[in-house]
Amino acid sequence: MLKQFDAVVVREQDGAVSYSVEVVTDEQLSPGEVIIKVAYSSINYKDMLAVKANGGVIRNYPMIPGIDLSGTVISSETSDLQAGQKVLVTGFQMGMGHTGGLSEYARVPAEWIVPLPDGLSLRDAMIVGTAGFTAGLSIMALEKMGMNMRNNPNILVTGASGGVGSIAIQLLHKCGYTNIAALSRKSAEEARLKSIGATYIVTPNDIFPDKPKPLVKQKFHYVLDTVGGDVASALIPQIHYGGSMSMCGNAGGIKLDTTVLPFILRGVNVLGVDSVNFPIAERFSIWSRFAGEWHIMDDALVSEIDMGELKQTFEALNNGTHTGRTIVKIS
Ligand SMILES: NC(=O)c1ccc[n+]([C@@H]2O[C@H](COP(=O)([O-])OP(=O)(O)OC[C@H]3O[C@@H](n4cnc5c(N)ncnc54)[C@H](OP(=O)(O)O)[C@@H]3O)[C@@H](O)[C@H]2O)c1
pLDDT tens for each residue of 57-70: 998 999 999 999 99
Q: What percent of the chain stands above pLDDT 70?
A: 100
Task: Tell how strand 200-202 and strand 220-225 pair up.
Answer: unpaired
Taking alpha carbons only, the member of 82, 62, 64 closest to residue 72 is 82
CATH 3.40.50.720 maps onto the chain at 133-272
The rounded Å distance from CA 75 to ligand 1 centre is 36
CA nearest neighbour of 106 among 10, 2, 29 = 29
Position 97 scores a pLDDT of 97
Look up the CATH superfamily of 133-272. Answer: NAD(P)-binding Rossmann-like Domain (3.40.50.720)
Instruction: Report whether pLDDT(235) > 80.
Output: yes
Angle between helices 163-175 and 122-144 (to 10 degrees): 70
Per-residue pLDDT at 9 exceeds 80: yes
Average the pLDDT over 153-179 and give the result. Answer: 97
Q: Is 80 exceeded by the pLDDT of residue 1?
A: no
| 3-class SS shares of the chain: helix, strand, coil, % to 5 | 35, 25, 40
> How much distance in Å is there from the Cα of 139 to the middle of ligand 1?
16
Give yes or no for a contact between 112 and 280, defined as CB atoms under 8 angstroms apart: yes
86-145 pLDDT tens trace: 999 999 999 999 999 999 999 999 999 999 999 999 999 999 999 999 999 999 999 999
pLDDT in tens, 220-229: 999 999 999 9
Interaxial angle between packed helices 283-291 and 122-144, expressed in degrees from 0 to 180 and rounded to the nearest 10: 110
Distance, CA of 290 to CA of 296 (rounded, Å): 7
Closest atom of ligand 1 to 182 CA is 40
Q: What are the start and end residues of each CATH 3.90.180.10 domain in the chain?
A: 5-116+301-329
pLDDT score of 210: 86
**What is the Å distance from ligand 1's center to 160 Cα?**
8
Closest Cα to atom 11 of ligand 1: 249
Residue nearest to atom 6 of ligand 1 (CA): 131
Indicate which residue's Cα is closest to atom 36 of ligand 1.
159
pLDDT of res. 42: 98
Q: Which atom of ligand 1 is nearest to the CA of 165?
A: 16
229, containing H or E segment = helix 229-235
Q: Which residues line ligand 1 (CB under 6 A)?
A: 44-46, 130-131, 134, 159-165, 184-186, 226-227, 231, 248-252, 273-276, 317, 320, 322
How high is the mean pLDDT of the chain?
97
Separation of CA 187 and ligand 1 centre (Å): 17
Q: Which of 43, 44, 256, 315 to mutate to test the pocket of ligand 1 (most atoms within 8 A of CB)?
A: 44
Q: Which of 44, 37, 61 is nearest to 318 (CA)?
A: 44
Q: pLDDT value at position 3?
A: 83
DSSP letter at 31 equals P
pLDDT of residue 2: 78
Q: Give 150's DSSP letter.
A: G
Position 262 pLDDT exceeds 80: yes
CA–CA separation, 101 and 70 (whole Å) = 8
**pLDDT for residue 49 is more than 90:** yes
Residue nearest to atom 19 of ligand 1 (CA): 162
Nearest to 180 by CA among 194, 163, 161, 162: 194
Which residues, listed in sequence order, are joined to residue 71 by a DSSP beta bridge? Answer: 38, 87
Residue nearest to atom 9 of ligand 1 (CA): 249
What's the CA-to-centroid distance between 155 and ligand 1, angstroms?
A: 18
Q: If you measure from the C-alpha of residue 76 to the centroid of ligand 1, how many angstroms do you get, rounded to a whole number?
A: 35
Whether pLDDT at 296 is above 70: yes
Residue 274: the pLDDT is 98
Q: What is the mean pLDDT of the segment spanning 315-322? A: 94
Check whether domain 5-116+301-329 has CATH 3.90.180.10, yes or no: yes
Pocket test for ligand 1, best of 42, 49, 127, 164 (most atoms within 8 A of CB): 164
How far away, in angstroms, is 84 Cα from ligand 1 center? 35
Nearest to 58 by CA among 25, 30, 21, 24: 30
- For 15-46, the pLDDT digits (tens) are 899 999 999 999 999 999 999 999 999 999 99
Residue 250 CA, ligand 1 centroid: distance in Å: 7
Beta bridge partners of 246: 224, 271
